[in-house]
Structure 1
Amino acid sequence: MAGETIITVVGNLTRDPELRTVSSGSTVVNFTIASSSRQFNRNTNQWEDGDTLFLNCSAWDSGRTSLATNIANSLSKGMTVIAQGRLTQRSYQAQDGTQRTVVELRVDEIGPSLRRATAQVTRQSANSGFVGNQQGGFNQNAGYQQNGGGFNNGGYAGGASNFAAPQQQAPAQDPWNTPDSGSSSFGTFGAPAEFGNDSGEPEF
């Protein structure tokens, strides 16, 4: 949407994501990302942590995705994550009756950082979106695999024979599908009558 502020932040989760269901029945997850800047100290010749930004984040399940649920099942306190989303501002009334305003990140995409960690990805089947051949997709042990060939166990396993092109039938009025009445393999194409002249004109 035009006018939205989209940012990408890299940091560590300060707590386990909290999954809950709101009064409308929607599922939301809340968590906080601590992102610290790094700066080089020329006096000590070492990298040092600068100021830390604590950013409150939220994500929601929808009819097409289970983002909130996936976050709660995949991420935990201390993990380094990469998150992209839209900065939003909301107001609420605190317990002491005062009106407060907070800025938070509405997360659209998030995943663990692989700089100092590894991760295994399990693809979920859904009623919408591309799910391959219903038996393929990402397997946490074998990478991308697909029924009938493709990438399997880290290498290409072929499979072109299972994807033969369908046979096509010629149109009913196809002039090139007319049975040959002559003995030549080229039919009668090029004969004098083909050009409207069957006189004694010499052939080419």
Structure 2
Amino acid sequence: MAGETIITVVGNLTSDPELRFTPSGAAVANFTIASTPRTFDKQSNEWKDGETLFLRASIWREAAEQVAESLTKGTRVIAQGALKMRAYEKDGQKRTSTELDVHEIGPSLKYATAKVTKSNRSNGTNSNSGFNTAPAGNSGQGDVWGGSGNAAGNWETPGNDGQPPF
């Protein structure tokens, strides 16, 4: 959406993601990311921690279920999403909080390794991208762009064995 404040934050999960479902059945995972800046102090010749930012975050639908299944307390993550202001009332006082509406999240591989397993999708499409890999009316046969089906087409060069020149 135009005008959103999109940020990327790197930090650790403070607890396991909490998975809930709305009355209509939509999944939402809520969690907090703790991000502490570190700077090198040349005078003392050591790294110093800055003030920790605790950012409440949420992710929706299928991604919420995957986050709840895959990420745990202490996991270092990289999350990208839109900052949102939420107004609420507590003890009769109006308050606001800044939260992250997560679009993408994954484990940081700086201090860890991961084995990625693609999830099966119930509808066969990538629901996050908005792109359908098999357009309607196309059973996966032929060229989806309406071409002849020959990928090389008129670009084929005589003597080209199909191998990259490096």
TM-score (norm 1): 0.58
Alignment partner of 1:87 is 2:121? no
- Residue type matched to 1:30 in 2? N
Q: Does 1:10 align with 2:10?
A: yes
Task: Supply the AA of the counterpart residue of 2:95.
Answer: R
Name the residue aligned to 1:112.
Answer: 107
Instruction: Among all aligned residue pairs of Structure 1 and Structure 2, give the percentage whose two residues are the same amino acid.
Output: 57
Report the aligned-residue RMSD. Answer: 1.7
1:129 shift after superposition? 2.6
1:156-179: per-residue Cα shift (whole Å, max 9, x none)? xxxxxxxxx89xxxxxxxxxxxxx
Matches within 5 A, 1:94-133: 94=90, 96-126=91-121, 127-129=123-125
After the TM superposition, which segments of 4 or more aligned residues of structure 1 sit over 4 Å from their partners? Answer: none
- 1:102 & 1:23 partners in 2: Cα distance? 24
Tell me the residue number matched to 2:65: 69
Equivalent pairs, count: 127
Q: Please identify the structure whose Cα radius of gyration is greater.
A: 1
> Relative contact order (alpha carbons < 8 A, sep ≥ 6): 1 or 2 greater?
2
Alpha-carbon offset, residue 46 of structure 1:
1.2
- The residue that corresponds to 2:129 in the other structure is none
How many Å separate the matches in 2 of 1:98 and 1:24?
31
How far is 1:128 from its partner?
A: 3.4
How far apart are 1:27 and its partner, in Å? 1.4
Amino acid at match of 2:67: I
2:47 maps to 47
Amino acid at match of 1:125: N
For 1:69, what is the secondary structure of its paired residue? helix
Q: If the length of structure 2 is used for normalisation, what is the TM-score?
A: 0.71
Q: Which runs of 5+ in 2 are unaligned?
A: 127-148, 151-166
Query: Secondary structure of the residue that 2:64 maps to in structure 1?
Result: helix
Question: How far apart are residue 58 of structure 1 and its match?
Answer: 0.4
Query: Mean Cα displacement is larger for which, 24-33 or 12-21?
Result: 24-33
Q: Per the alignment, in what secondary structure is the counterpart of residue 70 of structure 1?
A: helix
Question: What is the DSSP-based 3-state SS (H/G/I as helix, E as strand, rest coil) of the residue aligned with 2:52?
Answer: strand
Please, which moves more after superposition, 121-130 or 33-42? 121-130
Runs of 5+ consecutive residues of structure 1 not aligned to the other structure: 131-164, 167-204
Distance 2:48 2:24 in 1: 45
Q: Give the alignment of 1:105-184 within 5 angstroms.
A: 105-126=100-121, 127-129=123-125
d(CA) in 1 for partners of 2:96 and 2:124?
Answer: 37
Match of 2:57 in 1: 57
